[in-house]
Amino acid sequence: MTDLTRLTAADLAGRLTSRDVSSVEATQAHLDRIAAVEPALHSFLYVNGDEALATARDVDSRRAAGEKLHALAGVPIAIKDIVVTKGMPTTAGSKILEGWIPPYDATITTRIRAAGLPILGKTNMDEFAMGSSTEHSAFGNTHNPWDLDRIPGGSGGGSAAAVAAYEAPLAIGTDTGGSIRQPAAVTGTVGVKPTYGGVSRYGLIALASSLDQAGPVTRTVLDSALLHELIGGHDPRDSTSIDEPLPGLVAAARQGRSGDLTGMRVGVISELTGEGYQPGVRARFTESLEVLRGAGAEIVEVSCPHFTYALGAYYLILPSEASSNLAKFDGMRFGLRVEPSEGKVTAESVMGATRGAGFGDEVKRRIILGTYALSAGYYDAYYGSAQKVRTLIQRDFAAAFAQTDVLVSPTTPTTAFKLGEKLDDPLAMYLNDVATIPANLAGIPGLSVPNGLSDDGLPVGFQVLAPAKADDRLYRVGAALEALLEAQWGGPILAKAPELEVAR
Amino acid sequence: MTTANGTPEVDLVDYDDAVARYDPVFGIEVHVELGTRTKMFCPSIVVFGDEPNTAVSPVSLGLPGALPVVNGTAVEYAIRIGLALNCSIAETCRFARKNYFYPDVPKNFQTSQSDEPIAYDGWLDVELDDGAVFRVDIERAHMEEDAGKNTHVGGSTGRIQGAEYSLIDYNRAGIPLVEVVTRPITGAGMRTPEVARAYVQTLRDIFRALDVSEARMERGNVRADVNLSLRATSDSPLGTRTETKNVNSFRAVERAVRYEISRQAAILDAGGSITQETRHWHEDTGTTTAGRIKSDSDDYRYFPEPDLAPVSPDRAWVEQIRAALPEMPAARRRRLQGDWGFADAEMRDVINASAVDIIASTVAAGASPAAARKWWMGELARTAKQLDVELADLTITPTQVGELQWLVDAGRINDKLARQVLEGVLAGEGGPEQVLIARGLEVVSDDGPLLAAIDAALAAQPDIAQKIRSGNLGPVGSIIGAVMKTTRGQADAGRVRELVLERVTPA
């Protein structure tokens, strides 16, 4: 019998629709896989087996009754632990939320439940999505399935590792500066950050409200499109949600798989290549450009001069918003509550003790940065200037998109680094996101698709960026590159990953 | 420092001396809770006095992941208020986060407006008790959300200091507020306390007229913070101010301002300097005590609320709202005074007794304006005063007063009986007609019993009967009096007179 965990979501959905397999079988297969590889990976913070199987049974019986179901009904999914799930623990990777059971569902959770996708569990992440390695999780790090001594990327390392290791065909990630795309790149998976406002943020535990966006984490571009169409679209509960229908994403992915990009203008951002990029990363990128050219795309070089300031602006805007967003974690209403070990027990001292004990170092570092940047007398110099840079970056993109349909770059400068390698060097860690951050600052969509292995045998990601609300272009170009590269490789990149040792 | 029970820290300067030596400058921030069905940023229903923490949602509790959505009705109400205060309405404005840690603020920031208020640069004409008009400049009116309500348990003062524990009710958290901020108000001189009171009262009346709030002071729907400073003369630079928080009645506004003027004058007289601080008002002692030191550098780390899109009220909509604004209370009062034919002094009494609406309703119920005024400003005003309640809180309704007057006009009762009917209505015995019947107070209009009473009276006072017969009508009154006594006042005095004359003067 086929290993159901190796199927793409689209294929599994097809087999479920034809009643070739049941959702219970598919869900159980993934739960078995989770049980087998979790000791090595630690992708999950919570496994939701009973409820997932209950959903699967329900979908199977509805399908048997002839009910018209969503295309992905019965396909299991993993959700990053920053998305609130009613009745399921949600920690955002932080001790301060340990044991908190949300009394409500995020809009994307509601949509996933309504479509009948069994929720396998909640995936590991850097605390409050602050990090690029998942090492800042308060509950232990996740390992990269390609090399267990390496990071799976971050902050959504759990979702990426789960998908890469066949623990789930689909996962939800969130991307504030690259937390979907960078883990996708270093685990050989596909990740998409939709246009800001394209997917509801209602029920995402906010890191930086003006940058956060949830999106799909999958093994194929088509699967991402399927999931994106499920979770995307207007939500009246999110004021920043775009009140327009999504473009046809699945259709664009299907069109892309033909491998024909005739007439597509592809811009190479000169600031996001060259120095600082690992030779293997550069080599794969150049080869991929040739593949696109071969598919009929026109390759042009564009310059985005203000990208130099993107990282600096990002690390002012993000901590500023985060310092305010994280203020609510104070031990008064939910989550951890710590009374001071000495001195009077007052509201203030409990808040201080709770936050002192509940937040990790990286979170504290950013709260301090943000509080400082917003302070009277510093606001204009820091937060104010950062917002100006943001405008300049948006203009850079606007100018670039005036002459191109999509922009491309390597997703990350390097392949997965070793666990612990950058843990004590925040700046080195931050530099990982240099290519992904500009899209968040501008609110535009971005996709990372695997485009080969570097000299070290580890996967490399290729980033595609499109103008706001033109997410369909990502899928067309991404699917074309994927199809053409897989034809060269003779199969998906993940087939080259080492088999994990399985716990019995 | 002060003691917690509000014992003044200084010997106060006599108020008249204080305003003779110093020029008071003040400013008032008024918060009004809007009467919207739901909260400012979420669909929680707004309730008053419900079980604690029942009118809440993930948004108003500030749960992780929850996001705000602006209540469109609240925006409309804010625009109404702005327009009524002669403000400009912003083409576009943003919300801002005011960051500070306090347990009654669920997110530990209040969603408010900072440098982009929805309404700005207005003015309001305030009518004082003697009819003089004082113009107050309005700096801004902005939208924000209310905090929850803390109850500090244990300790003597009900304040957080000394409390054993505190309870928080988030039902109020997220209720829409509009904060109206004046520019510094100068030139009120010795009438400063009165202007302050009249300003808050005028605003309250406007909120009610605009139908944006029940604006009930005693429920805290309208709350005033009063900033006050003294300076040597009107040419001197502004002095250091204090901010007396949450002054919640008109009378308290006047008293608090008066108190602060006397207190600050005493400190300045003694060569001291005023501490910039918030102060608490104590209704029982009529004093203020020091709260928190407030410096201009209080840092709330305001920044634009990234979870909300800017509010950009469509110009045509604003004009629609402007066109639909109701008549403002001052204009309405002028119109009604003309309609009713009240003298200035009469109208002022009516206004000062907050009786305009009640009299208007009574007139609408059919009473003449003069009769309506007579009842409400006379008998009923006395009753209200005895009971220490507002006219509106009396159990009698304007409709019932109209009905009472109708009974008088129809001759079924006279004034004296009407007072007894009133007494019955106020005692909850039912409407005027019901009381009239139950108490058997109807005027005796049947001539039979009257004639019997007249004959008895004439027989009892033969000398008087004789005088009348001889054409001296002077003593008729004493016969009428006797008849009224026999009929316990239920006789129509006019009819009695006619009958007496018929009796003594043979046709």
Q: State whether A402 and A355 are in the same domain.
A: no
In a domain, A20, yes or no: yes
Token look-up 């709330």 returns: B300
Q: State whether A488 and A402 are in the same domain.
A: yes
Residue B158, pLDDT above cutoff 80? no
In a domain, A86, yes or no: yes
Q: State whether A294 and A145 are in the same domain.
A: yes
Q: What's the total number of domains in chain A? A: 2
* CA–CA distance, A330 with B454 (Å, rounded to integer): 88
Per CB-CB distance under 8 Å, the chain A contacts of B168 are 332
Instruction: Give catalytic status of residue A239 as yes or no.
Output: no
Q: State whether A254 and A337 are in the same domain.
A: no
- Maximal CA-CA distance, chain A: 72
Contact map slice: B 41-60 vs A, CB within 8 A: 58
The residues facing B143 across adjacent strands are B178
A375 at interface of B, judged by CB pairs closer than 8 A:
yes
In a domain, A376, yes or no: yes
* CA–CA distance, A288 with A194 (Å, rounded to integer): 22
Among candidates B112, B137, B113, B114, which has minimal Cα distance to B124? B137
In a domain, A503, yes or no: no
A345 at interface of B, judged by CB pairs closer than 8 A:
no
A347 at interface of B, judged by CB pairs closer than 8 A:
yes
Q: Is A199 helix (H, G, I), strand (E, B) or coil?
A: strand
Among candidates A164, A168, A130, A170, which has minimal Cα distance to A150? A164
pTM passes above 0.90: no
Q: State whether A352 and A488 are in the same domain.
A: no
| Residue B101 to residue A327, Cβ atoms within 8 A | yes
| Residue B106 to residue A333, Cβ atoms within 8 A | yes
Q: What is the pLDDT of residues B445-494, one digit of tens each?
A: 677 778 888 888 888 888 888 888 887 878 888 888 888 888 777 777 78
Q: What is the pLDDT of residues B37-59, one digit of tens each?
A: 999 999 888 877 789 999 999 99
In what helix (H) or strand (E) does residue B127 lie, and over which residues does it extend? strand B119-127
Over residues B376-387, mean pLDDT: 91
Which residue type occupies A374? L
Among candidates A202, A287, A289, which has minimal Cα distance to A239? A202
Instruction: Give catalytic status of residue A324 as yes or no.
Output: no
Chain centroid to CA A497: how far? 20
pLDDT of B5? 44
The single residue of A22, A43, A80, A137 carrying the catalytic annotation is A80
Question: Which of A345, A371, A388 is a domain's end point?
Answer: A388
Handedness of CA B309, B313, B317, B323 (dihedral sign): positive
Q: Is B125 helix (H, G, I), strand (E, B) or coil?
A: strand
Q: Is A381 exposed, middle or buried (0-12, 13-18, 19+ CB in 10 A)?
A: exposed
Task: Using alpha carbons, list the distances in angstroms from residue A52 to A35, A58, A77, B418.
Answer: 14, 10, 9, 78
Q: State whether A250 and A301 are in the same domain.
A: yes
Contact map slice: B 63-92 vs A, CB within 8 A: 63-70
In a domain, A428, yes or no: yes
Q: State whether A319 and A433 are in the same domain.
A: no
Question: Which of A358, A388, A418 is a domain's end point?
Answer: A388
Chains A, B: CB contacts under 8 A, how many?
Answer: 102
Work out the number of other CB atoms within 10 angstroms of the CB of residue A28.
18
Token look-up 């000062």 returns: B352
CA–CA–CA angle B73, B90, B325 (5° rounding): 50
In a domain, A336, yes or no: yes
* CA–CA distance, B206 with B191 (Å, rounded to integer): 22
Per CB-CB distance under 8 Å, the chain B contacts of A205 are 64-65
- Per-residue pLDDT 10s for chain A (504 aa) are 579 999 999 999 999 999 999 999 999 999 999 999 999 999 999 999 999 999 999 999 999 999 999 999 999 999 999 999 999 999 999 999 999 999 999 999 999 999 999 999 999 999 999 999 999 999 999 999 999 999 999 999 999 999 999 999 999 999 999 999 999 999 999 999 999 999 999 999 999 999 999 999 999 999 999 999 999 999 999 999 999 999 999 999 999 999 999 999 999 999 998 788 999 999 999 999 999 999 999 999 999 999 999 999 999 999 999 999 999 999 999 999 999 999 988 889 999 999 999 999 999 999 999 999 999 889 999 999 999 999 999 999 999 999 999 999 999 999 999 999 988 888 888 888 999 999 999 999 999 999 999 999 999 999 999 999 999 999 999 999 999 999 999 999 999 999 998 876
The residues facing B165 across adjacent strands are B153
Q: Is B390 helix (H, G, I), strand (E, B) or coil?
A: coil
Which residue type occupies A437? I
In a domain, A501, yes or no: no
Q: What are phi and psi of A487, to 5 degrees?
A: -65, -40
| Residue A83 to residue B103, Cβ atoms within 8 A | no
* Mutation site, A88, A328, A350, interface B, largest B CB count within 10 A: A328
Q: Is B180 helix (H, G, I), strand (E, B) or coil?
A: strand
* CA–CA distance, A425 with A248 (Å, rounded to integer): 42
pLDDT of B507? 44
Per CB-CB distance under 8 Å, the chain B contacts of A83 are 65
In a domain, A504, yes or no: no
Instruction: Give catalytic status of residue A385 as yes or no.
Output: no
Q: State whether A262 and A318 are in the same domain.
A: no
Question: Which of A388, A405, A430 is a domain's end point?
Answer: A388
pLDDT of B157? 64
Which residue type occupies A450? P
Q: State whether A300 and A365 are in the same domain.
A: no
Q: State whether A261 and A362 are in the same domain.
A: no
Q: What is chain B's mean pLDDT, rounded?
A: 90
* CA–CA distance, A431 with A439 (Å, rounded to integer): 15
**A439: Cβ contacts below 8 Å, ≥ 6 apart:** A193, A445, A446, A465
CATH number for the domain including A43?
3.90.1300.10
Q: Which residues of A483-498 are buried (b: 16+ CB within 10 A; e: fewer)?
A: bbbbeeeeebbbeebe
A84 at interface of B, judged by CB pairs closer than 8 A:
yes
B308 at interface of A, judged by CB pairs closer than 8 A:
yes
Q: State whether A327 and A288 are in the same domain.
A: no
* CA–CA distance, A286 with A83 (Å, rounded to integer): 37
A327 at interface of B, judged by CB pairs closer than 8 A:
yes
Q: Which domain does A118 fall in, by range?
A: 4-307+391-496
Shortest distance between the Cα of B87 and any Cα of chain A, in A, equals 27
Instruction: Give the closest of B63, B103, B303 to A374, CB-based.
Output: B303
A203 at interface of B, judged by CB pairs closer than 8 A:
yes
Per CB-CB distance under 8 Å, the chain A contacts of B63 are 84, 102-104, 333-334
The beta strand positions in B170-221, using DSSP E, are: 176-182
Strands A459-465 and A446-453: antiparallel
Provide the token pair at A191: 């990740």
* CA–CA distance, B362 with B398 (Å, rounded to integer): 4
pLDDT of B2? 44
* Mutation site, B63, B105, B152, interface A, largest A CB count within 10 A: B63
Q: State whether A63 and A172 are in the same domain.
A: yes
In what helix (H) or strand (E) does residue B77 lie, and over which residues does it extend? helix B72-84
> How does residue B1 score in pLDDT terms, banded at 50, 70 and 90?
very low
The residues facing B119 across adjacent strands are B89, B141
Q: Which residues of B295-324 are buried (b: 16+ CB within 10 A; e: fewer)?
A: eeeeebbbbbbbbbbebebeeeebeebeee
The C-alpha torsion from B149 through B155 and B161 to B165, rounded to 10°, is -50
